[in-house]
Amino acid sequence: MLPTLMLLAATAGTPAIAAGTYTYSATMAGKPVGTSTVTVTSGLPIRIEEQASGGTGAQAASGRAVLTLGADLAPTAYSGNYNTSGTPVSVAVTLTPTTAKIGDASYALTGNAKHFVVVEAGMTAGLFALPAQMQAWNNEAALMIVPAMADMGGTLAIVPDASTAGTRPSGVPAQDAALAIGGAFPFTIWYDPATNVPDEIDVPGQNVVVSRVRT
């Protein structure tokens, strides 16, 4: 389904995310590893729903995620249901401006982080929201919650760093802006500044590229 032109403007001055349905394909080292469909719906909380499938070799995987955002685009909840080679896993995160909870574990903002973001390994929903979130928060440092890695710490500090963006990929539209994140897990999101919808997500450390499929 083609994305609509309606924009979600939660509050005056808050960056908008275009409502609609978007399809992405992922490659690792140039080889296809998965597809994902992301649907953004209007109203508050803003709802970003994702259905993904893929895997490498004999390890098939699928996942469904729902991320909700408040009026300032801060995440309020995340739920994920994943299945890898027949093994189901479910995760749930609830968030306030200062605390994130995954089961019995509780995480507080640390260092210079002013906000939480939720980005699940192998899923697109959290990265999809990030360009608009960083604009809303004036590129302040954030603490990334990785739900499936909660038992290994589950967090990662992220800070925008324009110097790490690199050269614009050939398939990225000329009008796209870049959100580059430096630090221990660098990645770049190329997105349409008129809609805040990502067109490409590059994760050089993992040789992963997630590209929007246009119909």
Write out pLDDT tens, residues 86-132: 899 999 999 999 999 998 889 999 889 999 999 998 999 999 999 99
Instruction: Strands of the chain (E only): list them.
Output: 7-8, 17-18, 20-28, 31-41, 46-56, 59-69, 75-84, 87-95, 99-102, 105-108, 115-118, 142-145, 155-158, 177-181, 187-192, 197-203, 208-213
For 126, the token pair is 């959290």
User: Is residue 88, in this structure, part of any structural domain at all?
Assistant: yes
Tens digit of pLDDT for each residue in 171-203? 999 999 999 999 888 999 999 999 999 999 999
CB atoms within 10 A of CB 150: 19
**pLDDT for the residue numbered 10:** 43
User: Is residue 120, in this structure, part of any structural domain at all?
Assistant: yes
Statement: residue 3 has pLDDT above 50 = no
User: Is residue 2, in this structure, part of any structural domain at all?
Assistant: no
pTM listed for this prediction? 0.90
**pLDDT for the residue numbered 135:** 96
User: Is residue 158, in this structure, part of any structural domain at all?
Assistant: yes
Mean pLDDT, rounded, for 157-162 = 94
Tens digit of pLDDT for each residue in 62-92? 999 999 999 999 999 999 999 988 899 999 9
Structural domains of the chain, count: 1
What is the bridge-based pairing of β-strands 31-41 and 20-28?
Answer: antiparallel
User: Is residue 110, in this structure, part of any structural domain at all?
Assistant: yes
Look up residue 98 and give its DSSP letter. Answer: S
HSE toward the beta carbon, residue 125, CA cutoff 13 A: 28
The reply to whether omega before 193 is within 30° of 0 (cis) is no
**pLDDT for the residue numbered 58:** 63
Query: For residue 127, what are the domain limits?
Result: 7-213
User: Is residue 1, in this structure, part of any structural domain at all?
Assistant: no
